[in-house]
Amino acid sequence: MEREILTKSAKETKKLGEKLAKRILLSFPSKRKKTMVIGLFGDLGGGKTTFLQGFAKGLGIKEKILSPTFILMKKFQITKFKYFYHFDCYRIKEPKEILDLGWEEIISNPQNIVAVEWADRIEKILPKDTISINFEFIDENRRKITIKNPNFPNPNSEQIPKSQ
């Protein structure tokens, strides 16, 4: 399943992230078998971090979300799931570098939600059912955001706005 959404501002991009997180919290059963992994793809300035700021808010995280570019990963405790992991793979040269951070253990725990900025850098080791979100820079404010995943909950719900 694929869905394209056009956002017209950073505020709309954040709101989309927040709505998606809330929808995930509502849609997924408490007895999941796999970790929820979201791979964010797109160029620098495409809206990945902005989207994740809204996503984290939708998960109930009150802390400010910044790209963990220099530390590669941040971990936040959340309700319903156990942890939200935010990876930034911008500085990763080889996918195996991420393994030293406990990647295998993190993605094997169904109580985690994992978001990976610059997911293209570790695409070889992403789970097959990763929700892929591509951010395309249209102009200073507008972004085309494409969400792909065959197992994603029905995107026709009111919680994710239709393309503009």
Q: How many CA atoms lie within 13 A of 62 on its CB side?
A: 1
Who's near 66: CB < 8 A, 6+ residues apart?
A: 49
Q: Tell me the mean pLDDT in the region 6-30.
A: 88
pLDDT of residue 42: 94
For the chain, percent of residues with pLDDT exceeding 70:
86
pLDDT tens sequence across 130-140: 999 999 989 88
User: For residue 42, what are the β-bridge partners?
Assistant: 135
Contact of 5 with 16, CB cutoff 8 Å: yes
Structural domains of the chain, ranges and CATH numbers in brackets: 21-26+34-92+123-143 (3.40.50.300)
Query: Does the pLDDT value for residue 31 go beyond 80?
Result: no
- Tell me the whole-structure pTM to 2 decimals: 0.85
Q: Are 117 and 52 in contact (CB under 8 A)?
A: yes
Residues 145, 134: Cα–Cα separation, whole Å: 6
Residue 31: strand, helix, or coil:
coil
DSSP 110: T
Identify the three-state secondary structure at position 146.
strand
